[in-house]
Structure 1
Amino acid sequence: MEQNKKLSYSCKIFSVWEEDVLLQNGKTTRQSWIEHRPTVAVIPVNDKNELLLIRQFRIPAKQNLLEIPAGSMDHGKESPEKCAGRELAEETGYRAGSLVQLFAGYLLPGYCNEFMYFFLAQDLVYEPLTPDEDEFIEVLPTSFARAAELLKNGEMVDAKSALGIMLAENYLNGQTSFS
């Protein structure tokens, strides 16, 4: 139960809220949390059964990271599927002939309401969109075996990418999706 909710900070990506929360034991506590638009993550797999990973510099991590394509949905203006297609085209230059939702869930529910949809993208066709002006991305076709090595060796440290790759590999090996 929320009481006395106050906006502390807001920017184009997220807002920070503080509120008094009545706990189950009857006590009240002050909590801060981040409000974030829903997001998507796309696991693109080409006709050679390679993942299309991307490498880009991430300011908060202060390093280039290997990731799967991902991004935020426009404020209520697009579906998760439409957002997945847009992010895939912007970040890799490919359009998916087939999109399968593998999973959807909260990323960090202890302090953020960001909800992410994971999609497997196949039947890829090269049709690039103009990338965001602040994104400088390198596309790296990578086998599933190599991606596993990158994760094991700590060369890929993005958690959403680890989950997405495992979901896609399980799905492609006959396990049904979790959505």
Structure 2
Amino acid sequence: MDEIDLTWQTLGSETDYTCPGFDVVRDDVRLPDGTETEFHYVTETPSVVILPFTEQGDVIVIREWRQAVGRVNYGLPAGGIEDEDSDIRSAARRELAEETGYEADTVELLTAYEPANGLFDSTHHYAVAHGCVPNSTQQLDDNESIAVETTTFEKIKDMSARGELRDGRSALAVLHYTAHIEP
């Protein structure tokens, strides 16, 4: 069976809207059948999602207000990879410390996913941190409201499996860890 070429040709690209955290881009494209049209998508910097375990084996979780859905979100620390981060591990360490005040003994990369590649160009990198201890105070961004707590891995795994952990990034981290790493 012959492979069908599904590639779109980008004829031009413009940023329609810019704000802190993301841009909305419009591409002028030619489809494989020759049709010319527009395609809009959201572009943002890659981010890291951290599944952090304390020295006792509990998971550090956060509660954070999420304006887009109008509620407090329960999940894992996460944030954008910044220019000063030397790699994904250093970004994970920085985000963990900023959002929770915890520092990790070790950080390992788990995987990376494109969470919604029909609408966003985002890549979420997933890391697991072990031996986390409270070592400082939170260093929150001016638009963050975050409370920190711990829970058992079993509880957050059960919440993920039942669809009660609504934050998709967090649920994916827990389920990936459960399926591929957890002993």
TM norm. shorter chain > 0.5: yes
TM-score w.r.t. length of structure 1:
0.89
Q: CA deviation at 1:39?
A: 0.4
- Aligned pairs for 1:115-134 (under 5 A) are 115-128=123-136, 129-134=138-143
Task: Give me the whole-angstrom Cα distance separating, in 2, the residues matched to 1:31 and 1:136.
Answer: 34
Task: Give me the whole-angstrom Cα distance separating, in 2, the residues matched to 1:35 and 1:172.
Answer: 31
- Unpaired runs of 5+ in structure 1? 175-179
User: Which residue among 148, 160, 178 is the counterpart of 2:169?
Assistant: 160
**What's the % identity of the aligned pairs?**
27
Task: Give me the whole-angstrom Cα distance separating, in 1, the residues matched to 2:133 and 2:156.
Answer: 22
Partner of 2:156: 147
Question: If you compute each CA radius of gyration, which structure gives the higher value, 1 or 2?
Answer: 2
Partner of 1:112: 120
Partner of 2:5: none
Task: Give me the whole-angstrom Cα distance separating, in 2, the residues matched to 1:19 and 1:100.
Answer: 36
Larger CA deviation: 154-163 vs 94-103? 154-163
**What is the RMSD computed on CA atoms of the aligned residues?**
1.7
Task: Give me the whole-angstrom Cα distance separating, in 2, the residues matched to 1:7 and 1:172.
Answer: 40
Task: Give me the whole-angstrom Cα distance separating, in 2, the residues matched to 1:90 and 1:168.
Answer: 23
Task: Give me the whole-angstrom Cα distance separating, in 2, the residues matched to 1:25 and 1:80.
Answer: 40
For the pair 1:8 / 2:2, whether they are aligned, the reply is no
User: Which residue among 81, 90, 98 is the counterpart of 1:82?
Assistant: 90
SS at match of 1:109: coil
Partner of 2:6: none
Cα pair 2:54 2:133 within 8 Å, conserved: no
TM-score w.r.t. length of structure 2:
0.87
Task: Give me the whole-angstrom Cα distance separating, in 2, the residues matched to 1:53 and 1:17.
Answer: 33
- Unpaired runs of 5+ in structure 2? 1-8
For the pair 1:60 / 2:61, whether they are aligned, the reply is no
Task: Give me the whole-angstrom Cα distance separating, in 1, the residues matched to 2:118 and 2:155.
Answer: 32
User: Which residue among 46, 52, 70 is the counterpart of 2:78?
Assistant: 70
Task: Give me the whole-angstrom Cα distance separating, in 1, the residues matched to 2:52 and 2:125.
Answer: 14
- Aligned pairs for 1:8-27 (under 5 A) are 8-27=16-35
